[in-house]
Amino acid sequence: MWEPHIDAPRHFDPSGRSIAEYGIEDLTFRRPLLLNIPKQDSELITAEDLTAYKEKIAESDILLIKTGFQRFRESDPERYSMHNPGFSSDAASYIVKNFPKLRALGLDTVSLSSVDHREDGRLSHKILLSGRDFFIIEDMDLSKLVESPKTVIVLPLFIEGIDSAPCVVLAEV
């Protein structure tokens, strides 16, 4: 029903690059950071949730956030897709302002946008994807990761002109 997918800058920035304009080297991350930030239905990940990890995030090139909500993907698909946690615009602004080395954000939720906070989610997408090379990977299965992987490789469908695509995500543990 769902699958991991990646958003490229063009997803929210008409002048941004599309998926096919990137190479595999752009989608290989050698300094991943996995954070456990548990969230319930429709809760937002905020800048405050991230501040305790500021030094670790600063050294990372991809931030993987495990909310635990992925557990509802199969057992309660309606809950998973209609009441998912999201990533707030203040968290997006915090990332852009403080972490120039960070090139991607991955989440174990169906979307960065919470259905119940759709406008804030759109703003979060726009903040993260506009004017820079940044990727958002949604609907990741992070359930088996207990610590940060050594490397993450994202393999999307490289179709000319598309701004987002289904992808396979590989993690070296």
Burial of 147 (0-12, 13-18, 19+ CB in 10 A): exposed
DSSP letter at 78?
H
pLDDT single digits (tens) 143-154: 999 999 999 999
Please identify, in words, the CATH class of the domain defined by 5-165. Answer: alpha beta
Res. 1 pLDDT band, cuts 50 70 90: low
pLDDT single digits (tens) 4-58: 999 999 999 999 999 999 999 999 999 999 999 999 999 999 999 999 999 999 9
CB 34 within 8 A of CB 169: no
pTM: 0.96
Question: Would you say the C-alpha torsion 53, 54, 59, 60 has a positive or negative sign?
Answer: positive
CB 109 within 8 A of CB 124: no
